[in-house]
């Protein structure tokens, strides 16, 4: 994607065709093989041919996830991160609606999986329609060679580490599915899938932000110049995700009840564990991928994937055999922590400095209101009403505390406003959040100024 971010428009059509063609060419045979050999593979590897229908349905993820990732990269590379964010919104919304709907209609685990796969399909089809309309802009600007091979060679030089990382991640997903099939029941797998779907809703916020950061980081020729921008990006993602994560941990049961009903209450425990992965935003988990790819160091991202794999594979095998799904979640959390710690260390090598005192203030601001809302004894009411009331109280306390503790400054807020390129409705929500923060900061500084005007500064008193 970095090549499309820095080249002229007359070559973009060639890069689009080459990247999309290569992804489809590699993913389609794997999809067909997985679908046709589902019965044989499930019997030989897992000894459970009864789950072959699930494998057949999930086979389509191979093709459509490849198409979706290519479309996202194309839109980000040509400076249309808003459209890339739109595809993620379509993906998350469609699978979050269809999975519980199909479960309610009586399809059970197969329905949950089919709803999940449908998210990839819908998002990919919409993305292809958008791309076809955009491709016409680049078809008449120049008379470049229309052959795919030259563009593909150039893209592969940069993209091999990224492609390999994606391949490893896909293999890890398959490995996880095999572990769960061996050590967990259908009901447990369904509950875990429900928890994963709910946790992934946060990517409606994270992916638009991370995709909008890539073009910004691509403009820096010296990584040290990006240090301040990286620190602000880490601060803002942590500012948004930390309170949502901790509130979800506390109110997981009611949140599950809202989306899936009482029959899936067991998934609340998985949700309260799995959602903790978003706390790693405090150390930059949402930012590092965009940063290292933006400055032309995709190998660092690939190395982090290897670190994750080296820890996850043996740990998940051991913990799954003793703790089932909880063990797999613990393995995911520990492997992800190690991977992000490695990325943080690599960022220091290129001159990036993170102000962890502010990240500590964000965490403190999110932790203090937790015991308060836990002590609030509301009368019996619908789960949606309860979560809304407690969420409003918690968010109000969090915004007040984060402003008073100085977790964010005027300058950082303005930098975020000038950098983010995200869908309008999401931007309005974030703008409202930033406006409230800014008003409290202004009020705090005004009170402090009036105090010193009246009593004099400490130095002159």
* pLDDT digit string, tens, across residues 239-253: 889 999 999 999 999
pLDDT value of residue 426? 64
What value, to the nearest 5°, has the Cα angle with vertex 61 and ends 284 and 63? 105
The answer to whether the CB of 20 falls within 8 A of the CB of 233 is no
C-alpha closest to that of 399 among 444, 446, 451, 450: 444
What value, to the nearest 5°, has the Cα angle with vertex 414 and ends 408 and 419? 110
Is pLDDT above 80 for 377?
yes
Q: Burial of 395 by CB count in 10 Å (0-12 exposed, 13-18 middle, 19+ buried)?
A: middle
The answer to whether the CB of 304 falls within 8 A of the CB of 342 is yes
Mean pLDDT of the chain: 80
Other CB atoms within a 10 A radius of the CB of residue 424 amount to 8
144-162 tens-digit pLDDT? 556 666 667 766 666 677 7
- Lowest-confidence region among 208-217, 297-306, 443-452: 443-452
427-444 tens-digit pLDDT? 677 777 777 777 777 776
Using the structure block, give the residue that is written with the tokens 């150039």. Answer: 154
- Lowest-confidence region among 27-41, 75-89, 118-132, 438-452: 438-452
Highest mean pLDDT among 14-18, 149-153, 362-366, 401-405: 362-366
- Lowest-confidence region among 314-318, 348-352, 414-418, 430-434: 414-418
Is pLDDT above 50 for 17?
yes
C-alpha closest to that of 342 among 313, 314, 300: 300
DSSP, collapsed to helix, strand or coil, labels residue 409 as coil
The structure tokens listed for 22 are 């290569």
169-207 tens-digit pLDDT? 878 887 888 788 788 887 888 888 888 888 888 877 777
C-alpha closest to that of 181 among 37, 34, 55, 322: 55
Where residue 361 falls among pLDDT bands split at 50, 70, 90?
Answer: very high
| Dist. CA 53–CA 57, nearest whole Å | 6
264-303 tens-digit pLDDT? 888 899 999 999 999 999 999 988 888 888 787 888 988 9
Where residue 40 falls among pLDDT bands split at 50, 70, 90?
Answer: confident
Residue of higher predicted confidence among 13 and 389: 389
Task: Provide mean pLDDT across the span 388-393.
Answer: 91
Residue 457 neighbours by CB under 8 Å, 6+ apart: none
- Lowest-confidence region among 203-212, 305-314, 384-393, 418-427: 418-427
The answer to whether the CB of 167 falls within 8 A of the CB of 34 is no
DSSP, collapsed to helix, strand or coil, labels residue 276 as helix
Q: Where does residue 296 fall: left (phi above 0), alpha (psi -120 to 50 degrees), or beta otherwise?
A: left
Residue 153 neighbours by CB under 8 Å, 6+ apart: none
Is pLDDT above 60 for 5?
no
pTM over the 0.85 mark: no
pLDDT value of residue 149? 67
| Dist. CA 62–CA 48, nearest whole Å | 21
What value, to the nearest 5°, has the Cα angle with vertex 223 and ends 222 and 225? 70
| Dist. CA 99–CA 119, nearest whole Å | 9
The answer to whether the CB of 67 falls within 8 A of the CB of 24 is yes
Distance of CA 249 to the CA centre of its chain: 18
Q: Which spans in 78-226 are helix H?
A: 81-102, 108-135, 148-183, 186-199, 203-218
Q: Burial of 428 by CB count in 10 Å (0-12 exposed, 13-18 middle, 19+ buried)?
A: exposed
């Amino acid at each position: 994607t970095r090549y499309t971010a820095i080249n002229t428009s007359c070559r973009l059509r060639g890069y689009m065709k080459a990247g999309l063609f290569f992804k489809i060419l590699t993913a389609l045979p794997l999809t067909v093989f997985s679908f046709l050999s589902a019965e044989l593979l499930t019997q030989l590897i897992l000894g459970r041919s009864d789950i072959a229908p699930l494998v057949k349905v999930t086979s389509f993820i191979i093709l459509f996830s490849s198409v979706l990732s290519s479309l996202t990269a194309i839109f980000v590379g040509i400076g249309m991160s808003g459209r890339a964010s739109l595809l993620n919104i379509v993906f998350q919304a469609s699978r979050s609606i269809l999975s519980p709907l199909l479960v309610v209609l009586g399809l059970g685990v197969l329905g949950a999986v089919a709803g999940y796969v449908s998210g990839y399909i819908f998002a990919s089809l919409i993305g292809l329609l958008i791309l076809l309309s955009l491709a016409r802009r680049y078809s008449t600007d120049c008379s470049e060679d229309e052959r795919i091979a030259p563009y593909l060679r150039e893209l592969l030089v940069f993209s091999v580490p990224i492609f390999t990382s994606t391949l490893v991640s896909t293999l890890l997903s398959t490995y996880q599915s095999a572990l769960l099939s061996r050590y967990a029941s259908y009901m447990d797998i369904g509950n875990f899938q429900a928890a994963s779907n709910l946790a992934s809703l946060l990517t409606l916020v994270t992916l638009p932000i991370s995709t909008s950061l890539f073009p910004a980081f691509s403009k820096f020729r010296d990584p040290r110049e990006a240090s301040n921008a990286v620190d602000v990006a880490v601060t803002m993602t942590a500012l948004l995700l930390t309170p949502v994560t901790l509130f979800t941990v506390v109110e997981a049961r009611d949140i599950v009840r809202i989306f899936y009903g009482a029959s899936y209450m067991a998934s609340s425990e998985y949700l309260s564990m799995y959602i903790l992965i978003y706390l790693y935003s405090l150390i930059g988990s949402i930012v590092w991928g965009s940063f290292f790819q933006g400055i032309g160091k995709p190998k660092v991202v690939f190395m982090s994937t290897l670190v994750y794999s080296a820890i996850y594979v043996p740990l998940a095998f051991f913990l799954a055999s003793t703790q089932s799904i909880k063990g797999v979640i613990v393995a995911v959390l520990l492997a992800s922590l190690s991977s992000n710690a490695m990325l943080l260390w690599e960022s220091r090598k290129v001159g990036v400095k993170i102000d962890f005192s502010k990240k500590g203030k964000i965490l403190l601001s999110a932790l203090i209101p937790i015991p308060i809302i836990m002590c609030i004894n509301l009368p019996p009411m619908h789960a949606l009403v309860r979560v809304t009331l407690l969420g409003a109280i918690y968010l109000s306390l969090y915004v007040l505390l984060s402003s008073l503790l100085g977790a964010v400054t005027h300058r950082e807020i303005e930098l975020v406003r000038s950098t983010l390129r995200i869908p309008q409705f999401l931007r309005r929500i974030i703008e409202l959040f930033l406006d409230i923060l800014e008003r409290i900061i202004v009020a705090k500084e005004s009170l402090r100024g009036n105090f010193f005007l009246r009593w004099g500064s400490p130095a002159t008193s």
